Amino acid sequence: MEDEKIIALFFERDEQAVAETEKKYRGLCISLSDKILKNSFDAEECFSDTLMALWNSIPPKRPENLKAYICKVIRNLSLTKLDYNFAKKRTSDCEVSLEELEYLIPDGASENGYDGVELGMVIDGFLSSVKPEARKIFVRRYFFFDSVSDISLDLGISQSKVKSVLSRTVKRLRSYLTEKERL
Amino acid sequence: MNGKRIAEEIGKIRDEYVVEALETKRGLDGRERSITVKSKKRLIAILAAAVIIAAIGCGTAAAVKFGNLSIIKNQYEKTEDVLDVPEELPKMDIEENGLELTPPAPKAPAATDDGSQSEAEETEAPNPEELKPGEARFTGIVVTDHSFDGTFDLNVSGMGLPEKATDGAEYEYFESFTTVEEEIDGNRRFIGVCSTSFVSRDGDIATFVLSDCRLSTPPQGDLIFTVDGIKYQKADRSGEVSGYDGKIEVKISSDDYEVTESKYSLNAPESDGCAYLMELSPSAIKVSPQGGTSGEAFDVSTVKVEVKLRDGTVLSEDLGETGDKARIFVGGAQHMNGGFLLNFATLVDISEVSSVTVNGIEFDF
């Protein structure tokens, strides 16, 4: 079923909307959540929570792109779950990626140090300035938490190139954020 | 700022960039091929090894082992129906038939500051240098969190291992015991043991398969496999002879392997009113019913499995026909919580798999 029809079902408060969403996006969602949590049971739980969140948020919200919206919802819920798991001393391999993420931001950078603009919006602005290939690789790695080997295979480039593009993009992002904060 | 907070901020990027990246998940035709060809060789090597191991387990003659190898090759290259495996098959020379094993790619040089990529970085891995006597090197590997499969070549020159028996028959070589250690910052620790099997010998170079290596912890550092001596079968097959008493180390650097993770199918197709999700790992496929219901659509004793690779080739097996004998790539099958579990005969490079079809139901990856 097309996304527009699924959204329409949500607006009609038809429970078929949930069934169609599950049918269409279960694999994508669980795959994304599992990359963060490394636990299929937790990923299943997050997916259930995602369906509930969609039901509660649509309407009033009408996502322009349902697929992207769902990805963002389950990603946020999975990160929250990851926080909970850390608090409960349950480990996850994603910790490595989070450490990698910390390097994206220059030392001492504040969350609100960009002239009142949220960091997420600043990063979005930065991504609009880089080449599409670098942006795709960056988003695959830091939004979807994909492995370098998967990115390499899907884009048809060597793993070393993926690593070097990531390294170069991160370097530019750090410079960009430093400059923004100075302003 | 902590990583989780930054991850949340990255989640605020515009939808357009999320969708743009998502669209790359299915790969790009054309440019993808140069990568898959290289990986396919490794997959063939690993799957071929699986058949050989299965044959050894059944006590089958050496000629049949190589026959199965040719079937696997035909299966990939001609997409033939391979279910009618004959009892006896002609011996096949690996090199003559073009089946080659791919070495792990060496670490490529870093890009220049302006981001340009050097030519050397885009080229295939160079052929490995000649092995010195007593030296061993991996030619194909698959690593997961808790397992390792691989093939390695060993130069047996000067190790007291005769190539031919007096009656002209080939010797079969056996290892004694293989341990796995991990080395990080110069410190080694034991993390598992392996089964090692002889595959073939060409002059001084003997090829072995390491399989069923169960690792106690996910590997991170360099891995060292120590084969404790090699035995060989007497010409009259009346017993084993200890041919080489020393230890042989086969190493692989942490730069030369990546741990393969499981994948979930991108879709959850329905059968008999029940939706199913497939988890694909290097060692198995697991099909689970969703939503707490089960259509009991699968009888694992007759299930038909088709694995499609990204370059379009297809690997298929019908357990209803092959049963417990002459299996091609399925090692075992069992019902599980309304779904089922199929074990591969050995680890598989899942990055090469584009879809898996079970009883006509297709799961996309």
Q: How far are the Cα atoms of B126, B148, B216, B254, B292 from residue B223, in angstroms, in the given order?
A: 22, 10, 13, 7, 42
Contact criterion met (CB < 8 Å) for B35 and A72: no
Q: Mutate which of A21, A51, A143, A159 to disrupt the B interface (most B C-beta within 10 Å)?
A: A143
Partner-chain contact A123 B10, CB within 8 Å:
yes
Contacts of B6 in chain A (CB under 8 A): 98, 101-102, 104-105, 119
SS3 B247: strand
Cβ contact A21:A70 at 8 Å:
yes
The verdict on a CB contact (< 8 Å) between A23 and B275 is yes
pLDDT at B365: 87
What is the pLDDT at residue B295?
A: 52
Give φ, ψ of B176 to 5 degrees: -95, -55
Q: Please give the domain boundaries of chain B with CATH numbers for all domains.
A: 129-256 (2.60.40), 263-364 (2.60.40)
Distance of CA B38 to the CA centre of its chain: 13
Find, in chain B, the residue whose alpha carbon is nearest to that of A137. Answer: B21
User: Which of B4, B20, B43, B356 to mutate to test binding with chain A, by most A CBs within 10 Å of its CB?
Assistant: B4
- For the residues of B348-361, what is the DSSP string, one character each? --GGGEEEEEETTE
Locate the chain A residue with the closest alpha carbon to B32.
A156
Instruction: Report the C-alpha gap between B21 and B296 in whole angstroms.
Output: 37
Check: CB of residue B306 under 8 Å from CB of residue B79.
Answer: no
Judge whether B21 and B13 are in contact, CB under 8 Å. no
Q: First CA to last CA across chain B, in angstroms?
A: 35
At B38, phi and psi to the nearest 5? -65, -45
Alpha helical stretches, state H, chain A: 3-11, 16-37, 40-57, 66-87, 94-102, 119-127, 132-142, 148-155, 159-182
Among A43, A40, A102, CA closest to A74: A43
Report H helices in B58-174: 62-78, 119-122
Regions in chain B scoring below 50 on pLDDT: 27-45, 48, 50-128
* Cα nearest neighbour of B269 on chain A: A23
Q: A161 vs B11: CB contact, 8 Å cut-off?
A: no
Q: Which domains does chain A have, with CATH numbers?
A: 3-87 (1.10.1740), 103-182 (1.10.10.10)
The shortest CB-CB distance from A158 to any of B115, B121, B270 is to: B121
Q: Chain A: give the shortest CA distance to residue B46, in Å.
A: 19
Residues of A in contact with B260 (CB under 8 A): 149
Count CB neighbours of B359 within 10 A: 15
> Which chain B residues are within 8 Å of A143, Cβ to Cβ?
10-11, 13, 17-18, 21
Contact A79 B7 (CB under 8 A): yes
Q: What is the predicted pLDDT for the residue at B346?
A: 61
Average pLDDT by consecutive 10-residue portion of chain A (183 residues)? Answer: 88 86 85 81 84 86 88 89 65 56 70 64 88 90 83 78 83 82 62
Distance CA B362, CA B285 (A): 13
pLDDT in tens, B283-336: 778 888 876 555 566 777 788 888 888 777 778 888 887 765 556 677 777 777
Specify the pLDDT at position B75.
33
Tokens of A7: 């959204």
Distance CA A158, CA B118 (A): 12
**What confidence score (pLDDT) does residue B33 get?**
28
Q: What is the ipTM of this complex?
A: 0.80
pLDDT (0 to 100) of residue B356: 92
Q: Which of B134, B142, B72 is nearest to B346 (CA)?
A: B142
B10 and A65 within 8 Å at the Cβ level: the answer is no
Question: Which residues neighbour B144 within 8 Å (Cβ) at sequence distance 6 or greater?
Answer: B259, B260, B261, B281, B282, B283, B347
Nearest to B75 by CA among B53, B105, B43, B101: B43
Q: Is B7 exposed, middle or buried (0-12, 13-18, 19+ CB in 10 A)?
A: buried
Q: Are B221 and B251 in contact (CB under 8 A)?
A: no
CB contact under 8 A, B115 and A168: yes
Count interface pairs A-B at CB distance under 8 A.
199
Of B107, B196, B190, give the one whose Cα is nearest residue B151: B196
Task: Compute the distance between CA of residue A55 and CA of residue B73 in angstroms, rounded to an integer.
Answer: 50
Inter-residue contact B146 to B96 (CB < 8 Å): no
State the Cα–Cα distance between residues B45 and B104, nearest whole angstrom: 12
Which residue(s) pair with B288 in the sheet?
Answer: B277
Q: From the list B1, B13, B19, which residue is nearest A67 (CB)?
A: B19
Q: What is chain B's length? A: 365
Which two three-digit tokens encode residue B172?
């079969």
| Burial class of residue B88 in the structure, from the number of CB atoms within 10 Å of its CB (0-12 exposed, 13-18 middle, 19+ buried) | exposed
Residue A127: the pLDDT is: 92
- For residue A118, give the nearest of B9, B14, B15 by CB distance: B9
Residue of B nearest to A151 (CA): B25
Picking from A30, A146, A150, the nearest residue to B264 by CB comes out as: A30
